[in-house]
Amino acid sequence: MKLSARLSALAGASALVLGAFAAAVPASAAPSGAAAVTPPDISVTNVKQHLADLQSIATANGGNRAHGRTGYKASIDFVKAKLDAAGYTTSLQTFTSSGATGYNLIADWPGGDPNQVVMSGSHLDSVTAGPGINDNGSGSAAILETALAVSRTNFQPTKHLRFAWWGAEELGLIGSKHYVNNTPAAERAKIKAYLNFDMIGSPNPGYFVYDDDPTIEQTFKDYYAGLGIPTEIETEGDGRSDHAPFKSAGVPVGGLFSGADYTKTAAQAQKWGGTQGQAFDRCYHASCDTTANINDTALDRNADAIAYAVWNLSSGTTTPPTGTVFENTADVSIPDNGAAVTSSVTVSGITGNAPATLKVGVDIVHTYIGDLIVDLIAPDGSVYNVHNRAGGSADNINTTYTVNASSEVANGVWKLRVQDKAAVDTGYISGFKLTFP
């Protein structure tokens, strides 16, 4: 795997160490048995931007996003606006708790079998003590970015996808209990999987998988096996998050967790890194649970694991957009840690401006996509960044991005500009495609 090549080149690792490392990392993330569906890479940069926005909301609202406080409703409005713009059918479910109105946000991705629902949820409320960025901005932002990736790639799964942001978890799973209790049994039975994400970017992280539905559990374990990272079963209080009411109602559940106030053992620090004898999250339920209280690597891995599970558990296809296509399939090599290169297409015969949903097909073969900055350049030179060094050591970008190009005249020469900003790994542009709906 190229990560080992990079380590060897950068650090001069001995053949012995390199051999041991390479042997510990399987070649692919295919789950045992079935062929795995490859989801798009979830951009940790985007997930962190959502966290920065939630932090700003807390800061502007007395330092928290707690149930019954203005920061909670502002958080709900923020997430809802993004989902509405991405084509989700959203609904706000209200309830009353401790004399204040609470809100759940439910977002359905149109399509898929309505009798087979794959649902992902995270609580969006914080405690009153702080902004709640790891608990639980992390899960909320990661499922938001996963939902947006579903939209960007126009994912058309066999099953129906639903996402939920719960209110008043911190007061005793109030929002999720309200949803489960107010969903008729026949509707509940259609939920074939409920995936819960509560605290997935802990600063001294562990990699815990819920030990509930075996298929869901195995899906997450397969993802981590593909990365060569050991997981443990989540034991920091089963039933302490929003999967509990679903589980009680007989819905298959699962989830990921990077640890709260339990202490990382020496053995755990040995296999995961971090600090033994220290809590997974020393800022759990405290004012210091800010954007500084996030481990980017854990957040990145867990966000990608969420997409892996959502894609694989709903087993569908990503349909190429239909419309008028302009494409350049000539290979353009990208110099290592060098100057930007471009691939161009000439658009003609389109009246007026480009659409708000311009589909930008990017096919780049590269051994380390974390090296790359990828921009779309409009005919007048306007720059639209679509990839900014996210994805770490993942191979290749083969994705269709949606760009709001509605302020650009459609006709003219459009360019895909790619720059490799770090030494060692290399690659080439293999295809650039614009689709006008």
Which residues are catalytically annotated? 169
**Residue found by looking up tokens 């593909």 in the block:** 226
Best CA proximity match to 194, nearest among 93, 309, 91, 304: 309
CA pair distance 57, 160, nearest whole angstrom? 31
Q: Which is nearer to Ca ion, 9 or 34 (CB)?
A: 9
- 2, 240, 282, 421: which one contacts ligand TRP (CB under 6 A)? 240
**Does 135 sit near Zn ion (CB under 5 A)?**
yes
The item of Ca ion, ligand TRP, Zn ion, none sharing an interface with residue 257, based on CB under 5 to 8 Å by kind, is: ligand TRP
* Residues forming beta bridges with residue 100, ordered by sequence position: 97
- 214, 237, 335, 338: which one contacts ligand TRP (CB under 6 A)? 237
> Going residue by residue from 196 to 235, which x/- string records binding to Zn ion, judged by CB under 5 A?
--x-------------------------------------
State both tokens at 236.
């920091």
| Residues of this chain, 366-385, that bind Ca ion according to CB under 5 A | 371
From the list 110-118, 135-143, 229-237, 308-316, the region that binds Zn ion by CB under 5 A is 135-143
Q: Which is nearer to Zn ion, 260 or 429 (CB)?
A: 260
For residue 330, the number of C-alpha atoms closer than 13 Å in the C-beta half-sphere is 9
* Burial label, 60 (beta-carbon count in 10 A; 0-12, 13-18, 19+): exposed
Q: Which is nearer to ligand TRP, 234 or 375 (CB)?
A: 234
- 306, 420, 427, 432: which one contacts Ca ion (CB under 5 A)? 420
CA 325 → CA 33, 48, 55, 299, distances in Å? 37, 33, 40, 36
Q: Which is nearer to Ca ion, 7 or 117 (CB)?
A: 7
From the list 70-78, 233-241, 312-320, 395-403, the region that binds ligand TRP by CB under 6 A is 233-241
**Does 183 sit near ligand TRP (CB under 6 A)?**
no
| Residues of this chain, 256-295, that bind ligand TRP according to CB under 6 A | 257, 260
The item of Ca ion, ligand TRP, Zn ion, none sharing an interface with residue 237, based on CB under 5 to 8 Å by kind, is: ligand TRP
Helix boundaries (H) for 25-69: 44-60
**Residue found by looking up tokens 């330092």 in the block:** 63
- 3-state DSSP assignment of residue 388: strand
Q: Which is nearer to Ca ion, 169 or 371 (CB)?
A: 371
What is the amino acid identity at position 332?
V
**How near is the Cβ of 285 to ligand TRP at its closest, in Å?**
6
Q: Determine the length of the chain.
A: 437
Report yes or no: 345 and 435 within 8 Å, Cβ to Cβ. Answer: no
**How near is the Cβ of 187 to ligand TRP at its closest, in Å?**
25
The packing angle between helices 296-314 and 214-227, to 10°, is: 130
State both tokens at 134.
């790891």
CA pair distance 135, 392, nearest whole angstrom? 25
- 236, 238, 296, 336: which one contacts Ca ion (CB under 5 A)? 336
Best CA proximity match to 231, nearest among 203, 250, 211: 211
Q: Establish whether the linkage from the previous residue to 136 is cis, with ω within 30° of 0.
A: yes
**How near is the Cβ of 432 to ligand TRP at its closest, in Å?**
43
Fill in the DSSP letter of residue 32. Answer: S
- 41, 108, 145, 198: which one contacts ligand TRP (CB under 6 A)? 198
State both tokens at 287.
């004012």
**Residue found by looking up tokens 């401790």 in the block:** 98
- 43, 136, 312, 419: which one contacts Zn ion (CB under 5 A)? 136
**Does 135 sit near ligand TRP (CB under 6 A)?**
yes
Which residues contact Zn ion by CB under 5 A?
Answer: 135-136, 198
Which residues contact Ca ion by CB under 5 A?
Answer: 336, 371, 420, 422, 425
Which residues contact ligand TRP by CB under 6 A?
Answer: 135-136, 169-170, 198-199, 234, 236-237, 240-241, 257, 260
